[in-house]
């Protein structure tokens, strides 16, 4: 009986260790999957914004649109800023357009974005730059794609004297001029906090681990009791 009880203890211990290690592996796997999924979403959002910006730049050029107070909100970066704000309010995904040679100081890159821009500058084939960072005490996924100067961009990003007057007046400290076709102009930057999503995964897994452990303890106990009864019965039979 004593021996059996020891065996019961060992089995419970082994089962608990197995369940715990499965849970930890599961958590790591699900966290990786979650990150991949969010990075995929970032890519889609960034590409969508990139194409929308290009479309606006091209349309403004082909329509020969005047650049004034009324039409300024159609400028690609302006539209991007406004759409970014709405998008953030609804989804929590932060969208920015950044550049080392910024026109608006609000678009100055932070340290992660600056590293990405330097990498894009070094390697023209690099189509994205991503990572995980602590921002304001929160774990955040960062994702950037490069923006290159196309024909339509030159209207507002070439030599200072040639760009629309309204831009010259609005941005006296403008650094975003003198670009030529093919230059790296900046990047679209997406930031997504993942603390909440990871906490949810953790909570679900802890819940599952507790339920599985209780279930397994019941099962092992049941087998242990059944085994003892069988042994006792066969002992009785033998002594008879
Ligand atoms: C009609 C004018 C116009 C055109 C065309 C235009 N831009 Fe801009 N761009 C602006 C203005 C104005 C800003 C500043 C927006 C702000 O205040 O946030 C800006 C800002 C930016 C920024 C944000 C960083 C910064 O300098 O403040 C990027 C990146 C950018 N433009 C890239 C492009 C690219 C790439 C194209 C071509 C696809 C393009 N722009 C075409 C007017 C233009």
Ligand 1 centroid to Cα of residue 63, in Å, is: 18
pLDDT at residue number 177 = 97
Q: Write the residue with the smallest CA distance to atom 16 of ligand 1.
A: 104
pLDDT digits (tens, 9 = 90+) for 111-154: 999 999 999 999 999 999 999 999 889 999 999 999 999 999 99
Residues with CB under 6 A from ligand 1: 53-54, 57, 60, 67, 75-78, 81, 97-99, 102-104, 106-107, 147, 149-150, 152-153, 155-157, 167, 176, 185-186
Query: Which ligand 1 atom lies nearest to the CA of residue 187?
Result: 29
Contacts of 27 (CB under 8 A, 6+ apart): 201, 202, 205
Residue pair 128/142 in contact (Cβ under 8 Å)? The answer is: no
Residue holding tokens 């009986």? 1
For residue 2, pLDDT beyond 70: no
Q: Predicted confidence band at 239 (pLDDT cuts at 50, 70, 90)?
A: confident
Instruction: Give yes or no for a contact between 132 and 232, defined as CB atoms under 8 angstroms apart.
Output: no
pLDDT tens track for 194-226 = 998 999 999 999 999 999 999 999 998 999 899
């Amino acid at each position: 009986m004593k021996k059996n009880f020891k065996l019961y203890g060992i089995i419970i211990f082994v089962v608990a260790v197995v369940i715990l290690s499965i849970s930890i592996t599961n958590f790591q796997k699900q966290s990786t999957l979650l990150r991949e999924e969010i990075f995929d979403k970032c890519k889609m959002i960034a590409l969508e914004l990139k194409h929308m910006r290009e479309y606006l730049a091209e349309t403004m050029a082909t329509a020969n649109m005047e650049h004034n107070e009324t039409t300024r909100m159609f400028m690609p970066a302006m539209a991007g800023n406004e759409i970014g704000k709405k998008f953030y309010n609804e989804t929590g995904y932060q969208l920015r357009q950044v550049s080392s040679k910024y026109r608006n100081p609000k678009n100055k890159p932070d340290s992660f974005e600056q590293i990405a821009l330097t990498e894009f500058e070094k390697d023209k084939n690099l189509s994205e730059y991503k990572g995980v960072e602590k921002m304001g005490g929160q774990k955040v996924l960062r994702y950037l794609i490069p923006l290159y100067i196309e024909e339509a961009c030159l209207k507002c990003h070439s030599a200072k004297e040639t760009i629309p007057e309204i831009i010259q007046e609005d941005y006296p400290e403008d650094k975003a001029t003198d670009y030529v076709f093919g230059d790296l102009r900046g990047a679209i930057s997406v930031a997504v906090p993942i603390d909440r999503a990871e906490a949810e995964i953790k909570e679900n897994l802890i819940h599952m681990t507790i339920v599985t452990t209780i279930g397994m303890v019941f099962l092992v106990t049941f087998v242990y009791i059944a085994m003892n009864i069988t042994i006792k019965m066969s002992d009785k039979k033998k002594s008879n």
